[in-house]
Amino acid sequence: MLKKEYPEEGELIVGTITKVQGFGAFVSLDEYPNREGFIHISEIATGWVKRIRNFVREKQKVVCKVVHVDTAKKHIDLSLKKVNDHQRREKIQEWKNAQKATKLFEMVAQLLGKSVDQCYQEFGDSLVKKYGTLYAAFEESAYDANTLKNDGFSGEWLKKFEEVAKSSITVPFVEIKGMLLMTSYLPDGINHIKEAVSLAQKSEFDDVSIDIKYIGAPRYMIKVKAPDYKIAESQMKKAVERAEAYMKKMKGEIEFKREVEE
């Protein structure tokens, strides 16, 4: 697999503090073997840093922003204070995913009886080019075994890749909520509302669940759980449309509110 020798300016990196001195800290770059960066004390934290060891210590895992790279001098300047909590969490998760994907890819290579480098040459590099990261490729395969094939990949490795993905990757799901306000003035109105709920809860996909719970007249909480937000929003819209069509047909009243509080 082709890897960059140096990070780019503005890039977030995961590193390990190797040495702390009064004027700054040295960092081993976990994603770039044999590369070391430096955090000047002015880039440790906002405000005045009286004692640097109150902020960093040896062997501490950190997420830093690359502020300058001099490849000729092999010098990499880093900043700790330019990384917010959200960026830190996302980068750590991305790094963990990359580590996991590397181990899973080694498993695939072992099952195929080939070297890791050979597998990268045959299909690994192409997967990274297509999906952005190796972990994303494993996620796609775990979610739908036909995705890689539909995207043009072929070969006996596909089956082993899928086996490893299915057994090791948990596909993330998202949940969105809304509120249905339904009223019927007919004598058997409650039955019409129950039918509207039943129609709305019918999902088009096995991996999408639609649940509607009675909160208190005329409110019904609708929750949609799906692999991603795009699918969830689409299925929410269709569920509401099914309920609306039936309620209007039965001369009932229906209103939908997307943002709700339980």
- Say if residue 78 is in the same domain as residue 25: yes
Q: Which of 5, 15, 7 is nearest to 76 (CA)?
A: 7
- Say if residue 243 is in the same domain as residue 180: yes
Confidence at residue 161, expressed as pLDDT on a 0 to 100 scale: 97
Domain closes at, from 27, 58, 82 = 82
Q: Does residue 125 lie in a domain region? A: yes
- Strand-by-strand arrangement of the 209-216 sheet: 209-216, 219-226, 174-183, 253-257
pLDDT tens-digit map of 141-178: 998 888 999 999 999 999 999 999 999 988 778 899 99
Cα–Cα distance for residue pair 210/177, rounded to 1 Å: 10
pTM of full prediction above 0.75 = no
Domain count, the chain: 3
Q: Does residue 4 lie in a domain region? A: no
- Say if residue 156 is in the same domain as residue 216: no
Confidence at residue 260, expressed as pLDDT on a 0 to 100 scale: 59
Domain closes at, from 168, 197, 218 = 168
Q: Does residue 204 lie in a domain region? A: yes
pLDDT along the chain (262 residues), means of 10: 85 97 96 96 92 95 98 96 94 95 97 96 95 93 89 94 93 88 94 96 89 93 90 94 95 86 52
- Say if residue 212 is in the same domain as residue 139: no
Domain closes at, from 82, 117, 136 = 82
Q: Output the domain CATH number for residue 99.
A: 1.10.150.190
Confidence at residue 229, expressed as pLDDT on a 0 to 100 scale: 87
Confidence at residue 248, expressed as pLDDT on a 0 to 100 scale: 93
Count how many Cα atoms sit within 13 Å of the Cα of residue 193 in the half-sphere of its side chain: 23
Domain interval for residue 53:
12-82
- Say if residue 224 is in the same domain as residue 158: no
Cα–Cα distance for residue pair 23/59, rounded to 1 Å: 18
Q: Does residue 242 lie in a domain region? A: yes
The stretches of the chain forming alpha helices (DSSP H) are 85-112, 116-119, 125-131, 134-143, 147-150, 157-168, 189-200, 229-249
- Say if residue 150 is in the same domain as residue 77: no
Q: Does residue 113 lie in a domain region? A: yes
Cα–Cα distance for residue pair 166/171, rounded to 1 Å: 9
Residue 186 token pair: 């007919």
- Say if residue 207 is in the same domain as residue 136: no
Confidence at residue 115, expressed as pLDDT on a 0 to 100 scale: 96
* CA torsion angle 191 193 194 198 (round to 10): 140
Confidence at residue 170, expressed as pLDDT on a 0 to 100 scale: 82
Cα–Cα distance for residue pair 149/58, rounded to 1 Å: 46
Confidence at residue 258, expressed as pLDDT on a 0 to 100 scale: 81
